Amino acid sequence: MKTRDMVEELIEESYLLGLTEDQIWEDLHRFVATCERTIREHVQDEKTLDRLLSHLNSVRERAYREVVARIKDAGALIKPDGSRKTRRELLAEQAAKNKCMVLQAIRECDPKLAAQIEQKRFPVLETKARETQWARYGRALLGVLYGLLWTVIAALLYLSHLTASKR
């Protein structure tokens, strides 16, 4: 697993830890629905579409099964500091892992599709991307206007020099 993937998983898990157990499940269902909707909108190849959708559908069942299996395994409930993990902590950990696994599988098939899913999951990213684009245009326009201003100043100085030298 790449460092980037591990960081994304930790960020996702820390976000999920701030939610209740029901909210974590709701977030997982919303994630799967967003992925499914985006895949259906953007994937034309039937084979790829079927493979991605079946992988998504297995996420829901796998998340619950893995949480239950880890709860039964007493070692999984022990944190490094010796305290016990709650069911919510296990669910958050497993949901984050499954979400990242799904995004990685989608990224391997189509990196642009994974980026579109991320934008739909976090609309703020799309807004910031648009704002960044407008900021670039604004900077370019300011640069042109700044250059034009210096050109006008240089022209005025030249004209004033010409009129002063004719006297």
* Segment 40-52, tens digit of pLDDT: 888 888 887 788 7
Residue predicted with more confidence, 158 or 71: 158
| Mean pLDDT of the chain, nearest integer | 81
Residues 115 and 128 both lie in one domain: no
Distance (Å) of CA 94 to CA 6, 9, 28, 34, 68: 13, 10, 10, 19, 11
- Domain coverage including residue 147: 124-167
Question: What would the pLDDT profile of 50-91 be if each residue is shown by its tens digit?
Answer: 887 787 777 767 766 776 676 666 556 667 777 777 878 888
C-alpha to C-alpha distance for 119 and 132, rounded to whole angstroms: 15
Residues 142 and 154 in one domain: yes
Q: Name the band, by pLDDT with cuts 50, 70 and 90, for residue 153.
A: very high
**Domain count across the chain:** 2
CB count within 10 Å of CB 163 equals 9
Residue of 105, 93, 119, 153 whose CA lies nearest to 38? 119
Mark which of 101, 121, 141 sits at the end of a domain: 121
Confidence class for position 140, pLDDT limits 50, 70, 90: confident
Question: What band does 154 get if pLDDT is binned at 50, 70 and 90?
Answer: very high
* Whole-prediction pTM: 0.63
Please indicate, yes or no, whether residues 21 and 92 belong to a single structural domain of this protein.
Answer: yes
Question: In terms of domains, do 37 and 113 share one?
Answer: yes
Contact in structure between 59 and 98 (CB atoms under 8 Å): yes
> Do residues 12 and 37 both lie within one domain?
yes
Q: Is the pLDDT of residue 6 over 60?
A: yes
> pLDDT for 91-137, tens place per residue?
888 888 888 888 887 888 778 888 888 888 876 655 555 667 777 78
Can you say whether the dihedral through the CA atoms of 8, 24, 43, 115 is positive or negative? negative
